[in-house]
Amino acid sequence: MRFTDSHEWISVSGNKGKVGITKHARNELGEIVYVELPKVGQKVRAGEEICVLESTKAAADVYAPVSGTILAVHDVLNQNPHALNDDPESAGWIFQIELANPKEIDSLMSAEEYQGLIQP
């Protein structure tokens, strides 16, 4: 997994990635009650706002960690965002993306670097 400083993660296999928010982001937001998913086929650039999460505390934007095309969304989150609350770094994935430029992964943080960002 690689991480962004805006608290998204991406797990890459080949030229495809699965994206979600980190446990840290989920803890900061509180219980997520609504997810506005991106559209399949949508083309995005790294750093671009792609969807919105609403929680009991606030609304938060989710940004694309890499450039590419949305291949799939986790439709279950529309009816039941609890997967995102219970397991944000696995079962709570939000969307899958086909990477336009796999080298963008190199600019993202490792797990160790991300821990350094979130720990005081």
Q: How far apart are CA 11 and CA 34, in angstroms?
A: 23
2-3, strands of its sheet edge to edge: 2-3, 8-13, 16-21, 95-99, 68-73, 43-44
What is the predicted pLDDT for the residue at 82? 84
The answer on pLDDT for 3 being more than 80 is yes
Please name the residue that has the structure tokens 């400083």.
5
Average pLDDT, the chain: 95
The answer on pLDDT for 20 being more than 90 is yes
Q: How far apart are CA 116 and CA 3, in angstroms?
A: 12
33 in helix, strand or coil? strand
Structural domains for the chain:
2-95 (2.40.50.100)
The answer on pLDDT for 113 being more than 90 is yes
Exposed, middle or buried, 109 (CB in 10 Å: 0-12/13-18/19+)?
middle
What is the predicted pLDDT for the residue at 92? 92
Please name the residue that has the structure tokens 């529309």.
78
Cβ atoms of 18 and 10 closer than 8 Å: yes
* Position 78 confidence tier, pLDDT thresholds 50, 70, 90: confident
- How long, in residues, is the chain? 120
* Position 83 confidence tier, pLDDT thresholds 50, 70, 90: confident
Please name the residue that has the structure tokens 């399949």.
40
Global confidence as pTM: 0.94
Q: How far apart are CA 80 and CA 101, in angstroms?
A: 32
